[in-house]
Amino acid sequence: MNGVAAVIFDCDGVMFESSGANIAYYNKILSHFSYPPVLPDDHERAHLCHTASSPDVLRGLMKQEDVAPALDFAAALDYREFIPQMTPEAHLKEALASLSRRYPLAVATNRGRSIEPILEHFNFRDFFSVIVTSHDVERPKPAPDMLLLAAEKLGVAPDACLFIGDSDLDRRAAEQAGIAFAGYGKQVESARPLTTHLDLLGYFDLI
C-alpha cells in the first residue's frame, strides 16, 4: 500500500474473537461485588466489555463507589485463565508473518497487562516490535494518545501508519491521530473495509 511504512493492530475483534473471554472476565469481577452478570444478548453492555478500557467498562457497569475496589480486584486476577476462550481471527498468523517481513508492526489496545500473555500464548509476540496499552497513556481510545505513542515508538510519522480496528472507538482514535484507518469486520465503517486478514494482504499486494 503506497505511503504506508508501519501497521498498527487493535487486539480484540481484530486479532482475536474474544468477546466470550472478556465477558467471563468482567462477570467474575461483577460476581465478586454482587452485581448481576453481563449476558451475551445484552448487546450494549457486551460491546462495552469488548471495546473499552477496564476503568471505562467498570464505570459503565458498576456504581462509582465500587469502581476503585473493583479495579484493585481486577489487578489481582490472572487473565490467562480466560485465554483458552479466545480464538485467533482467520488468516491472522499468515498476515502477521507476511507483513512483519516488510513492515514494523505494533499493537495498540485498550487492554492492560493481559496483552503480553495473550500474544505469547498464541506465539504472536515476535511479530510485533511495539506494544502500547491503556497503561501506557493518560487517555485510552478513542483518544489518539495510544496511536501517537505507537507511531513514535515505531519511529514512523503518524501519516505513514495504517491502523486496523473494529470499532467506532478505533476509527475516532485514528482520525484524531491523523493515521489511516482500515475497518475490520461489520461493526465499523471504513474506506478500507476488511472482511478477513487476507483482504489486508491484498491491500499490500502480498497475495
Residues 96 and 72 in one domain: no
Determine the average pLDDT of the residues in 168-189. 96
C-alpha grid cell, residue 179: 493515521
Instruction: Look at residue 50 in the predicted model and tell me its pLDDT.
Output: 84
Please check whether residue 107 is in contact with residue 11, taking contact to mean a CB–CB distance below 8 angstroms: yes
Determine the average pLDDT of the residues in 80-103. 96
* Domain end marker among 59, 83, 107: 83
Determine the average pLDDT of the residues in 49-65. 93
Q: For 83-92, 165-174, 198-207, which range has the lowest pLDDT when averaged over its residues?
A: 198-207
Residues 124 and 77 in one domain: no
Band (pLDDT 50/70/90 cuts) for residue 51 is confident
The residue type at 104:
P
Q: What number of other Cβ atoms are within 10 A of residue 66's Cβ? A: 18
Percent of the chain with pLDDT over 90: 90
Determine the average pLDDT of the residues in 18-35. 96
State the number of CA atoms in the 13 A half-sphere of 83 facing the CB: 17
Residues 68 and 97 in one domain: no
Q: pLDDT for 126-151, tens place per residue?
A: 999 999 999 999 999 999 999 999 99
Per the structure, the complete domain to which residue 65 belongs is given by: 19-83
Residues 126 and 192 in one domain: yes
Whether cis (ω within 30° of 0) applies to the bond prior to 142 is yes
SS3 state at 148 = helix
Q: pLDDT for 70-80, tens place per residue?
A: 999 999 999 99
Band (pLDDT 50/70/90 cuts) for residue 207 is low
Prediction pTM value: 0.90
SS3 state at 170 = helix
Residue 76 falls within a domain, yes or no? yes
Determine the average pLDDT of the residues in 86-100. 97
Residue 143 falls within a domain, yes or no? yes
* Domain end marker among 35, 66, 83: 83
Residue indicated by cell numbers 468482567: 26
Please check whether residue 96 is in contact with residue 127, taking contact to mean a CB–CB distance below 8 angstroms: yes
Band (pLDDT 50/70/90 cuts) for residue 1 is low
Per the prediction, the chain carries an average pLDDT of 95
Alpha-carbon gap, residue 42 to 55, rounded angstroms: 20
What total number of domains does the chain contain? 2
Residues 79 and 37 in one domain: yes
Please check whether residue 177 is in contact with residue 144, taking contact to mean a CB–CB distance below 8 angstroms: yes
* Domain end marker among 83, 104, 120: 83
Calculate ∠ Cα 34-39-40, nearest 5°. Answer: 155
Residues 12 and 78 in one domain: no
Residue 1 falls within a domain, yes or no? no
18 pLDDT exceeds 90?
A: yes
